[in-house]
């Protein structure tokens, strides 16, 4: 944090240095253009010597008057102080230039005895006021640029969040996965193809309705996973082993909707070409407000392969829920454990269930 603050302060310092250097060099050139060369040195000396006056005037207006006295009730105070600074710094600039600068470094200006007359003070003050306005304009343009960049970034994040929500809601990858398997079933004239189509349609419809619900019941997400297991069983002719263990009050588990369903779907698709699916033991704890998923292997593939697939699943899950959950994992000799904790203060689920086990290795009786 200290390094970032130092870098920010350093960046701001350089911006101000560049601004004042450009102002001195630029106005020296403008005032001296087309005149003899000796006037360049005179005007340059003028702007260097008077620079503290212009800087003090500018910073007092920009960083003291405007922030403190531009509220509705303090506008009269702002006007009075602004006029005092305007007149006072103009008088200082005239005294310095006429009594010192023009005496030793002529800049093509005539010295008058009554240089502190109100008219001359106001005329000179307009030049001082010009640099104040240029400085404020530069600050305004930079603030607008930063605000516009922030707005575009927030819009980008919002669109990305909407896209991720839509992906979660529609589950396009699961749909493509199902269509691919249904095509294979059609090619081999599988008698259960009609059942697979009906279950796919039903599951996708219920996923969309669940996502639209205001109260996401944890028990309903379990039902969706059961139907997904049933669908995969039709596709693969083998039932994946998925077991849920719920402890405490699931109403205290505050996770984004469909995150467990998405994880199981990712696993099924990542291990679709393997000889068998890994066993999934999913423990949802209402006491600790987290979900632990154990991905258990049967030894049909190397541990490195299994870990690679497991990491890919975690990576996909983080793409959808990175800003809403904290995901950690542990590597074991039998596979891996994934721990999901919520980062949001969302509302709790409304289901209240005692500790129970849902075993999906076998179809539940209806």
What pLDDT digit, counting tens, does each position of 45-56 carry? 777 888 888 888
Range of lowest pLDDT (85-89, 212-216, 322-326): 212-216
**At CA 334, angle to CA 328 and CA 340, rounded to 5?**
20
pLDDT value at residue 220: 83
> Is residue 180 domain-shared with residue 324, that is, in the same domain?
yes
> Is residue 16 domain-shared with residue 71, that is, in the same domain?
yes
Q: Is the confidence at residue 356, as pLDDT, over 60?
A: no
Paired tokens of 75: 């506008």
Q: Is the confidence at residue 346, as pLDDT, over 60?
A: no
pLDDT value at residue 233: 92
Could you give the CA distance from residue 148 to residue 162 in angstroms, rounded to a whole number?
21
Residue 72 lies inside a defined structural domain of this protein: yes
Q: Is the confidence at residue 9, as pLDDT, over 60?
A: no
Residue 105 lies inside a defined structural domain of this protein: yes
- Judge contact between 260 and 225, C-beta under 8 A: yes
Residue 365 lies inside a defined structural domain of this protein: no
231 — pLDDT class (breaks 50, 70, 90): very high
pLDDT value at residue 357: 45
Q: Which helix (H) or strand (E) holds 340?
A: strand 335-342
Fill in the DSSP letter of residue 365: P
Mean pLDDT of 202-226: 81
> Is residue 47 domain-shared with residue 116, that is, in the same domain?
yes
Final residue belonging to a domain, choices 163, 190, 210 = 163
Instruction: Determine how many CB atoms are found less than 10 A away from the CB of residue 352.
Output: 10
> Is residue 14 domain-shared with residue 157, that is, in the same domain?
yes
Burial of 55 per CB tally in 10 Å (0-12, 13-18, 19+): middle
Full domain range(s) for residue 53: 2-163
> Is residue 180 domain-shared with residue 144, that is, in the same domain?
no
Could you give the CA distance from residue 203 to residue 227 in angstroms, rounded to a whole number?
7
Mean pLDDT of 253-276: 83
Residue 364 lies inside a defined structural domain of this protein: no
Range of lowest pLDDT (158-162, 173-177, 215-219): 158-162
Alpha-carbon torsion, ordered 142, 144, 149, 154, to 10 deg: 140
Final residue belonging to a domain, choices 122, 137, 163 = 163
Could you give the CA distance from residue 210 to residue 301 in angstroms, rounded to a whole number?
36
> Is residue 229 domain-shared with residue 96, that is, in the same domain?
no
Paired tokens of 284: 């949802």
Final residue belonging to a domain, choices 147, 163, 179 = 163
Mean pLDDT of 93-100: 78
Could you give the CA distance from residue 242 to residue 271 in angstroms, rounded to a whole number?
14
Instruction: Determine how many CB atoms are found less than 10 A away from the CB of residue 119.
Output: 8
Q: Give the three-state DSSP class for 91.
A: helix
pLDDT in tens, 286-328: 777 788 898 887 655 566 666 677 777 777 777 777 677 888 8
Report the b/e string of 14-41 with b at 16+ CB within 10 A. Answer: eeeeebbeebbeebbeebbeeeeeebbe
Residue 197 lies inside a defined structural domain of this protein: yes
Residue 258 lies inside a defined structural domain of this protein: yes
280 — pLDDT class (breaks 50, 70, 90): very high
- How many domains are there within the chain? 2
- Judge contact between 335 and 297, C-beta under 8 A: yes
């Amino acid at each position: 944090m200290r390094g970032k603050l130092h870098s920010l302060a350093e960046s701001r310092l350089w911006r101000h240095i560049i601004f004042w250097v450009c102002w001195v060099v630029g106005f020296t050139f403008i005032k001296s253009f087309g005149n003899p060369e000796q006037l360049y040195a005179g005007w340059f000396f003028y702007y260097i010597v008077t620079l503290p006056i212009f800087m003090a005037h500018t910073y007092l207006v920009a960083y003291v008057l405007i922030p403190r006295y531009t509220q509705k009730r303090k506008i009269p105070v702002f006007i009075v102080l602004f006029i005092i600074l305007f007149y006072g710094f103009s008088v200082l600039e005239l005294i310095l230039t006429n009594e010192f600068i023009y005496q030793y470094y002529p800049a093509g200006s005539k010295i008058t005895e009554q240089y502190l007359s109100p008219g001359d003070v106001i005329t000179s003050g307009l030049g001082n006021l010009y640099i104040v306005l240029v400085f404020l304009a530069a600050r305004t343009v930079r603030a607008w640029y930063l605000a516009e960049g922030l707005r575009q970034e927030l819009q980008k994040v919002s669109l990305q969040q909407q896209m991720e929500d839509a992906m979660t809601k529609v589950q396009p990858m699961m749909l493509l996965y199902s269509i691919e398997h249904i095509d294979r079933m059609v090619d081999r004239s599988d008698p259960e193809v009609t059942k697979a189509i009906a279950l796919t349609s039903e599951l996708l419809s219920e996923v969309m309705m669940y996502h639209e619900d205001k109260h996401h019941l944890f028990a309903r997400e379990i039902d969706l996973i059961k139907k997904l297991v049933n669908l995969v069983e039709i596709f693969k002719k083998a039932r994946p082993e998925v077991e849920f263990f719920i402890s405490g009050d699931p109403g205290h588990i505050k996770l984004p909707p469909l995150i467990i369903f998405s994880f199981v779907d990712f696993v099924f698709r990542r291990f679709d070409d393997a000889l068998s699916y890994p066993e999934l033991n999913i423990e949802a704890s209402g006491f600790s407000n987290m979900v632990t998923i154990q991905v258990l292997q049967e030894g049909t593939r190397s541990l490195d392969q299994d870990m690679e697939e497991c990491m890919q699943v975690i990576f996909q899950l983080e793409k959808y829920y990175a800003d809403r959950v904290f995901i950690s994992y542990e590597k074991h000799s039998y596979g891996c454990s994934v721990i999901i904790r919520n980062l949001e203060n969302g509302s709790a689920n409304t289901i209240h269930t005692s500790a129970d086990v849902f075993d999906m290795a076998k179809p539940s009786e209806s």
